[in-house]
Amino acid sequence: MTIEGTINARDLGGLPTGDGRRVGLGKLIRSAELDKLTGRGVAALRDQHRVATILDLRSTRERTKRPPAIGLHRDATLVHYDYATSSADMERLWAKDDVTHAEVHAMMLDIYRRLPWEQAEGFRLLFELVETGRTPILFHCAAGKDRTGAAAALLLSALGVTREAIYDDFLMSELCFEANRTRFAGNGADALLLRAEWEPILRTDRAYLDAMFTALEARGDMAFYFAEALGFDAPRIERLRASMLEAA
């Protein structure tokens, strides 16, 4: 999927569930931030994808520094929540110095272990928007790979999408590695992003999602997380599935 002015955009429709269904086409779109959308990009969201709701998972500081492109609010409801910082708010890591590639990779694993709880409010918003029929929904963070990747993995898990398909979708963000480097360099991180030891920040590694699921499952099963952190018990999860899934 190409939306001019952003990267890492794709429809989650078509992903298979364990019971033989699939996620409905055109209902869930994930992407990177939308501050640089061109007029064509805005028009594509309106006319081609008919996006009704845009959920911005970035921090308050990120949204203030790089506000959404002009015109988005005319045809879609913009939704966000305010928070000061995130372990996936990469700019907070740039102040660190004298680190190794292994240390940055370990830091990314730790970020993914904490994301489901740290970002629970934003992930709950996504689930509620789906539950209340605010589709088609586009949700994004900065690069569209960490907060967005975790949100997608959790929502797809709730919908019963197979773990293999969840990983396949997650790892597609690696295809945007060079575009991601260019985008973040354009946001003022040029010197950092030329340093090889910081590359794990820009990568999409299967080990990241492994770390997240392992940490979740150490505290209980996925149903426990959905109920405890997001307030979605079994009946609410079934409502999500009824609204989002279709026959394969």
Task: Provide the residue-wise pLDDT of the chain in tens; the chain has 248 residues.
Answer: 999 999 999 999 999 999 999 999 999 999 999 999 999 999 999 999 999 999 999 999 999 999 999 999 998 999 999 998 766 655 555 666 677 889 889 989 999 999 999 999 999 999 999 999 999 999 999 999 999 999 999 999 999 999 999 999 999 999 998 888 777 766 655 556 667 888 898 899 999 999 999 999 999 999 999 999 999 999 999 999 999 999 98
> What pTM was estimated for this model as a whole?
0.93
pLDDT, position 96: 62
Q: Count other C-beta atoms under 10 Å from residue 178's C-beta.
A: 10
pLDDT of residue 53: 98
176 has catalytic annotation: no
Give whole-number Cα distances, 44 to 38, 41, 55, 145, in Å: 10, 5, 17, 21
- Which pLDDT value is given to residue 121? 97
Other Cβ atoms less than 10 A from the Cβ of 116: the count is 22
Per-residue pLDDT, 180:
80
Report the pLDDT value the prediction gives residue 183, as an integer from 0 to 100: 74
Residue 79's beta-bridge partner residues? 55
Question: At 111, which helix (H) or strand (E)?
Answer: helix 101-118
Q: Name the residue ranges covered by the structural domains of the chain.
A: 10-228
Into which CATH architecture does domain 10-228 fall? Alpha-Beta Complex (3.90)
Q: How would you label 85-114 residue by residue, b for 16+ Cβ within 10 Å and e otherwise? A: ebbbbbbebeeeeeeeeeebbeebbebbbb
Question: What is the per-residue pLDDT for 104?
Answer: 87
Task: Name the catalytic one among 69, 125, 141, 155.
Answer: 141
Name the 3-class secondary structure at 22.
strand
